[in-house]
């Protein structure tokens, strides 16, 4: 007999974007992205770890053929504020020279990570670079980095779920939630 474990959601203050709203919006984003690449096979570049969930949902909702690759960058450590230093932890496995590149990001906050990434990718001479981000924070003082397509603009609060983590946790929640202040305070070393 199978017993299912109950999902533990300690640390979530409230749901900001539920699963069906995400699903509907991703279908719209996929249709828009499809229309950009009617004559080419783009390489989707997912930014690990956060964009893994969005990337898999988006590419399955797309109708055109694609290739996929991943990069991992770090700017946060285990804090909720950007450290201001971006590091490549894992680079692409393929050359992007002459290719159409779609950067798939989970969230644009200060814009620092994306600005750095676009700079690195542009120097590799792709044919084109576009960006789709699942979320963008409305944040005064953020870098005005160009994002072609945004799933949802959200308030400047720390969010978790659908790939997004706090200190490595919560990525597998099937919705976007606001992290509770207690969960932030409970983290040792902050």
**Residue 76 interacting with ligand IMP (CB under 6 A):** yes
**Residue 50 interacting with Mg ion (CB under 5 A):** yes
Return the residue of 33, 44, 57, 75 that touches ligand IMP, per CB under 6 A.
75
Q: Are 131 and 118 in contact (CB under 8 A)?
A: yes
Q: Are 153 and 113 in contact (CB under 8 A)?
A: no
Closest-CA residue to 37 (of 148, 186, 157, 188): 148
Question: What would the DSSP string read from start to end of 33-84?
Answer: HHHH-TTS-PEEEEEETTTHHHHHHHHHH--S--EEEEEEEES-TTSSS--S
Residues in binding contact with ligand IMP, number by CB under 6 A: 19
Nearer to Mg ion by Cβ, of 50 and 177: the residue is: 50
Residue 112 interacting partner from Mg ion, ligand IMP, none (CB closer than 5 to 8 Å by kind): ligand IMP
**Could you give the residue numbers annotated as active site?**
109
- For 29, the token pair is 């984003």
CA distance 158 to 184: 10
Return the residue of 43, 103, 164, 173 that touches ligand IMP, per CB under 6 A.
164
**Residue 121 interacting with ligand IMP (CB under 6 A):** no
**Residue 170 interacting with ligand IMP (CB under 6 A):** no
Return the residue of 112, 118, 131, 134 that touches ligand IMP, per CB under 6 A.
112
x/- letters, 30..49, toward ligand IMP (CB under 6 A)? -----------------x--
Q: Are 25 and 85 in contact (CB under 8 A)?
A: no
Closest-CA residue to 50 (of 126, 108, 125, 115): 108
CA distance 87 to 35: 33
Nearer to Mg ion by Cβ, of 42 and 46: the residue is: 46
Q: Which segment (20-28, 43-51, 52-60, 95-103) binds Mg ion by CB under 5 A?
A: 43-51
Residue 158 interacting partner from ligand IMP, Mg ion, none (CB closer than 5 to 8 Å by kind): ligand IMP
């Amino acid at each position: 007999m199978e017993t299912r474990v109950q999902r533990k959601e300690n640390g979530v203050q409230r749901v900001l974007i539920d699963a069906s709203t995400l699903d509907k919006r991703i279908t719209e984003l996929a249709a828009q992205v499809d229309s950009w690449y009617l004559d080419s096979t783009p390489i989707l570049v997912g930014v690990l770890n956060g964009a893994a969930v969005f990337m898999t949902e988006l590419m399955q909702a797309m109708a055109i053929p694609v290739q996929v690759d991943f990069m991992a960058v770090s700017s946060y450590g285990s804090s909720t504020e950007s450290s201001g230093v971006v590091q490549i932890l894992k680079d692409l496995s393929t050359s992007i020279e002459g290719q159409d590149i779609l950067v798939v990001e989970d969230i644009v906050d200060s814009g620092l990570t994306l600005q750095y990434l676009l700079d690195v990718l542009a120097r590799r001479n792709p044919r084109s670079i576009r960006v789709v981000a699942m979320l963008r924070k409305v944040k005064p003082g953020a870098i005005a980095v160009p994002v072609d397509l945004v799933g949802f603009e959200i308030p400047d609060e720390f969010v978790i779920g659908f790939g997004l983590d706090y200190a490595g946790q919560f990525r597998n929640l099937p919705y976007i939630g606001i992290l509770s202040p207690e969960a932030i305070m409970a983290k040792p070393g902050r």
